[in-house]
Amino acid sequence: MSPVLVSPALEAARGAMQQSGVDALWISQPANIRYLSGFSSPEDAKLLLTPDAAILYTDSRYALQAAQEVKVEIHIARSPATLEHAAEWVQGLKVGFEAEHLTVAGLDDLKQYWQAELVPLRRPIETLRLVKSDAEIAMIRRAQAIADAAYAEVLPQIRAGARETDLSLALELAMRRLGADGPSFETIVASGERGALPHGRASDKLLVAGELVTLDFGALIGGYHSDMTRTVPVGEVSAELRRLYMAVLDAEDQAIAAVGPGVRTADLDALARGVLAGHDLAEHFTHSLGHGVGLDIHEGPGLRAASDEVLRPGMVITIEPGVYLEGVGGVRIEDLLLITESGHEVLSQSSRARL
């Protein structure tokens, strides 16, 4: 039996377990496993949490790494031996599982190997991750500072003739050199008409004078992400592109000014959409205003119409309005914000272009 664990995250998870009316939790979502155990290769692990045990299951490739990183009990095995071992712990219990992360085959396996009542739960651990601890905020702050520094290094290279992939590589190299474990996600560099692709991966296209280029990137440290976007003119741009840019800047400014504890995320999304409607651009804002950032690049709270979430101090969110016009291009400006007791702090420090 593992020692009684006092990690705040595990304690909170046990609280969530009780509230959901289950005796144990079977965790398969990688960021949730990392959050609860500290294991840095959670894609190849599972976690079982009972009232008096926490067991990380991983395979022999990670035996040493797990012993170095993890404070909970470790069991080295591959499925189905994993499930056979866990079966002894869950016998006769009500076991919650993550409905959004267990495959149909995974659930079949649990039914085959366990004599337990299986209870689907929605986001049992993600809910705990919404509000970050001071240590988590420090990691995200560092990741963002690295992304800002990398952007400052690469900015002079954003000029006519530069290749999108060279800019993405330069950003990723600079972030690694500055201490990142890697990029947060595949860096987006979308210039000219490609700017109409919200997730336009860097291509071999060369930047042309008169275009806008959107760069969306982040750094990863200790599993924590940062996320920011800048749209930059390549030389002089047309009055139409300038109009698009100023409209998005206006939407971002107004949304950021409204961010604070107690604010409904759906209201922020509506506010930004309203600003863009005032510029006749609402139909071109085709995604949500933003999202939480932490161990996952996209996590709660969602800043979208269908969300009923309310901002709380300690949440880290993006504000990222954008407009996308096929055949013309696009603009997105994104900053990373920490919700504080009195309002917010903008964590991303890079200046935005003023056209």
Ligand X SMILES: CSCC[C@H](N)C(=O)N1CCC[C@H]1C(=O)O
> Residues interacting with ligand X, by CB under 6 A?
185, 198-199, 216, 227, 229, 287-288, 291, 297, 320, 334
Q: How far is the CB of 320 from ligand X (least distance, A)?
A: 6
Q: How far is the CB of 290 from ligand X (least distance, A)?
A: 8
In the bound state with ligand X, the residue whose beta carbon lies nearer, of 101 and 287, is 287
Region class of 66: left (phi > 0), else alpha (psi between -120 and 50), else beta: alpha
Indicate the residue type of 191: S
In the bound state with ligand X, the residue whose beta carbon lies nearer, of 70 and 323, is 323
Q: How far is the CB of 147 from ligand X (least distance, A)?
A: 11
In the bound state with ligand X, the residue whose beta carbon lies nearer, of 106 and 185, is 185
Q: How far is the CB of 334 from ligand X (least distance, A)?
A: 5
In the bound state with ligand X, the residue whose beta carbon lies nearer, of 22 and 281, is 281
What are residue 47's DSSP bridge partners?
Answer: 27, 56
> Could you give the CA distance from residue 102 to residue 84 in angstroms, rounded to a whole number?
18
In the bound state with ligand X, the residue whose beta carbon lies nearer, of 58 and 348, is 348
In the bound state with ligand X, the residue whose beta carbon lies nearer, of 229 and 265, is 229
Region class of 84: left (phi > 0), else alpha (psi between -120 and 50), else beta: alpha
In the bound state with ligand X, the residue whose beta carbon lies nearer, of 159 and 199, is 199
- Which helix (H) or strand (E) is 163 found in, with range? none
> Could you give the CA distance from residue 9 to residue 135 in angstroms, rounded to a whole number?
12
Q: How far is the CB of 216 from ligand X (least distance, A)?
A: 5
List the structure tokens of 135: 């240590």
> Could you give the CA distance from residue 154 to residue 158 in angstroms, rounded to a whole number?
7
List the structure tokens of 302: 């969602």
Helices (H), the chain: 8-19, 30-37, 63-69, 81-90, 104-113, 126-129, 134-154, 164-177, 239-257, 265-278
Q: How far is the CB of 14 from ligand X (least distance, A)?
A: 32
Cβ atoms of 49 and 72 within 8 Å: the answer is no
In the bound state with ligand X, the residue whose beta carbon lies nearer, of 111 and 199, is 199
Q: How far is the CB of 293 from ligand X (least distance, A)?
A: 9
**Residues 6 or more apart in contact with residue 243 via CB below 8 angstroms:** 279
List the structure tokens of 231: 């749209």
Beta pairing class for 53-58 and 45-50: antiparallel
> Could you give the CA distance from residue 341 to residue 343 in angstroms, rounded to a whole number?
6
Q: How far is the CB of 118 from ligand X (least distance, A)?
A: 32
